[in-house]
Amino acid sequence: MRIPMIDLARQHQALAAELGAAWQRLAGQGQFVGGAEVEALQGEIAQRIGVRHAIGLANGTDALHLTLRAAGIGAGDEVVTSPYTFIATAGAIVHAGARPVFADIDPRSFNLDPAAVAAAITPRTRALLPVHLFGQPAEMQPLLALAQQHGLAVIEDCAQSFGATIGGVATGALGLAGTYSFYPTKNLGACGDAGAVVTDDDALAARLRRLANHGAGAPQEYLEVGYNSRLDALQAAALRIKLRHLDGWNAARARIAAHYDELLADLPLVRPQRGGGRDHIFHHYTVLLERRDEVAAALRAEGIASAVHYPRPLYRQPALAAYAPAAPLPVVEDVCRRCLSLPMYPELQAQELDTVAGALARALGR
Ligand SMILES: *Cc1c(COP(=O)(O)O)cnc(C)c1O
What separation in Å is there between the alpha carbon of 130 and the centre of ligand 1? 13
Q: Is the CB of 183 under 6 A from ligand 1?
A: yes
To test the ligand 1 pocket, which listed residue (64, 86, 160) has its Cβ within 8 A of the most ligand atoms?
A: 86
Residue having the nearest C-alpha atom to atom 15 of ligand 1: 159
What separation in Å is there between the alpha carbon of 134 and the centre of ligand 1? 11
Task: State residue 275's pLDDT score.
Answer: 81
Task: State residue 61's pLDDT score.
Answer: 98
The residues of the chain that CATH labels 3.40.640.10 are: 8-103+111-243
Task: State residue 276's pLDDT score.
Answer: 80
Task: State residue 227's pLDDT score.
Answer: 98
Q: Is the CB of 67 under 6 A from ligand 1?
A: no
List the beta bridge partners of residue 156. Answer: 178
Q: Is the CB of 199 under 6 A from ligand 1?
A: no
SS (H, E, C) the chain: CCECCCCHHHHHHHHHHHHHHHHHHHHHHCCCECCHHHHHHHHHHHHHHCCCEEEEECCHHHHHHHHHHHCCCCCCCEEEECCCCCHHHHHHHHHCCCEEEECCECCCCCCECHHHHHHHCCCCEEEEECECHHHCCCCHHHHHHHHHHHCCEEEEECCCCCCCEECCEECCCCCCEEEEECCCCCCCCCCCCCEEEEECCHHHHHHHHHHHECCEEECCEECCCCCECCCEHHHHHHHHHHHCCHHHHHHHHHHHHHHHHHHCCCCCCECCCCECCEECCCCCEEEECCCHHHHHHHHHHCCECCECCCCCCHHHCHHHHHHCCCCCCHHHHHHHHHEEEECCCCCCCHHHHHHHHHHHHHHCCC
What separation in Å is there between the alpha carbon of 64 and the centre of ligand 1? 9
Predicted confidence pLDDT, tens digits, the chain (366 residues): 799 999 999 999 999 999 999 999 999 999 899 899 999 999 999 999 999 999 999 999 999 999 999 999 999 999 999 999 999 999 999 999 999 999 999 999 999 999 999 999 999 999 999 999 999 999 999 999 999 999 999 999 999 999 999 999 999 999 999 999 999 999 999 999 999 999 999 999 999 999 999 999 988 999 999 999 999 999 999 999 999 999 999 999 999 999 999 999 999 999 999 888 889 999 999 999 999 999 999 999 999 999 999 999 999 999 999 999 999 999 999 999 999 999 999 999 999 999 999 999 999 998
- Can you tell me which atom of ligand 1 is nearest the CA of 182? 7
Residue having the nearest C-alpha atom to atom 5 of ligand 1: 60
What separation in Å is there between the alpha carbon of 257 and the centre of ligand 1? 22
CB contact at 8 A, 127 and 152? yes
Task: State residue 241's pLDDT score.
Answer: 98
What separation in Å is there between the alpha carbon of 309 and the centre of ligand 1? 13
Task: State residue 1's pLDDT score.
Answer: 79
What separation in Å is there between the alpha carbon of 361 and the centre of ligand 1? 32
Task: State residue 179's pLDDT score.
Answer: 98
What separation in Å is there between the alpha carbon of 50 and the centre of ligand 1? 22
Residue having the nearest C-alpha atom to atom 6 of ligand 1: 60
Residue having the nearest C-alpha atom to atom 14 of ligand 1: 159
The residues of the chain that CATH labels 3.90.1150.10 are: 246-363
CATH assignment, 8-103+111-243: 3.40.640.10
**Shortest CA distance to 199 belongs to which of 42, 21, 14?**
42
Q: Is the CB of 11 under 6 A from ligand 1?
A: no
Q: Is the CB of 195 under 6 A from ligand 1?
A: yes
Q: Is the CB of 88 under 6 A from ligand 1?
A: yes
pTM beyond 0.85, yes or no: yes
Considering the domain delimited by 246-363, tell me its CATH architecture: Alpha-Beta Complex (3.90)
Task: State residue 274's pLDDT score.
Answer: 86
To test the ligand 1 pocket, which listed residue (89, 110, 171, 310) has its Cβ within 8 A of the most ligand atoms?
A: 89
